Amino acid sequence: MTSTPEAGPPRRVAIVGTGLIGCSIGLAAARAGLEVAGYDADEGAATGAARAGLTVAGSLEAALEGSELVVVATPIEAVCDVVVAALGRAPAAVVTDVASVKSSIVRAVAARGAPLDRFVPGHPMGGSERSGPEHASASLVDGIAWALAPTPATAPASRALVEAFVRALGARPVELDPERHDRLVAVVSHLPQVASTALMDLAAAEEADEPELLVLAAGGFRDLTRLAASSPGLWSAILLANREEVARAIDRYVEGLVRLRDDVARGDAARVEATFASAKAARLGLAAKPQVRAGVAVVQVPIPDRPGALAQLTGGLAERGVNIEDLQIVHSPEGGSGLVQVIVAATAGDAALEALLERGFDPVRLA
Is residue 318 at the binding interface for a second copy, with CB under 8 A as the rule? yes
CB 170 → a second copy: shortest distance, Å? 9
Concatenated DSSP letters of 98-150: --S--HHHHHHHHHTT--GGGEE-EEE----S--SGGG--GGGGTT-EEEE--
Q: What track of x and - describes contact with a second copy for positions 125 through 164 (by CB under 8 A)?
A: xxxxxx----x-xxxxxxxxx-x-----------------
Q: Which of residues 219-238 bind a second copy (CB under 8 A)?
A: 219-233, 235-237
CB 66 → a second copy: shortest distance, Å? 28
Residues 351 and 322: their CA atoms lie apart, in Å, by 7
Is residue 11 at the binding interface for a second copy, with CB under 8 A as the rule? no
Residues 170 and 158: their CA atoms lie apart, in Å, by 19
CB 96 → a second copy: shortest distance, Å? 17
Q: What track of x and - describes contact with a second copy for positions 174 through 213 (by CB under 8 A)?
A: x-x---x--xxx-xxx-xxxxxxxxxxxxxx-xx--x-xx
Q: Which of residues 20-79 bind a second copy (CB under 8 A)?
A: none
**Among 23, 94, 169, 296, interactor with a second copy by CB under 8 A:** 296
**Among 8, 59, 308, 357, interactor with a second copy by CB under 8 A:** 308
HSE (side-chain half, CA atoms, 13 Å) at 352:
28
- Taking alpha carbons only, the member of 185, 213, 172, 132 closest to residue 295 is 172
Q: Which of residues 245-284 bind a second copy (CB under 8 A)?
A: 246-247, 249-254, 256-258, 260-261, 264-265, 267, 269, 272-284
Q: With contacts defined by CB under 8 A, how many residues of the chain interact with a second copy?
A: 140
Residue 227's SS3 state is: helix
Residues 18 and 15: their CA atoms lie apart, in Å, by 7
Residues 148 and 61: their CA atoms lie apart, in Å, by 26
Is residue 364 at the binding interface for a second copy, with CB under 8 A as the rule? no
Is residue 331 at the binding interface for a second copy, with CB under 8 A as the rule? yes
Strand partners, 120: 96
CB 33 → a second copy: shortest distance, Å? 17
Is residue 167 at the binding interface for a second copy, with CB under 8 A as the rule? no
Strand partners, 38: 15, 56
Is residue 240 at the binding interface for a second copy, with CB under 8 A as the rule? yes
- Residue 66 or 173: the one with the smaller Cβ distance to a second copy is 173
- Residue 61 or 276: the one with the smaller Cβ distance to a second copy is 276
Is residue 88 at the binding interface for a second copy, with CB under 8 A as the rule? no
Sheet holding 69-72, edge to edge: 35-39, 12-16, 69-72, 94-97, 119-120
Residues 192 and 273: their CA atoms lie apart, in Å, by 23
Is residue 315 at the binding interface for a second copy, with CB under 8 A as the rule? yes
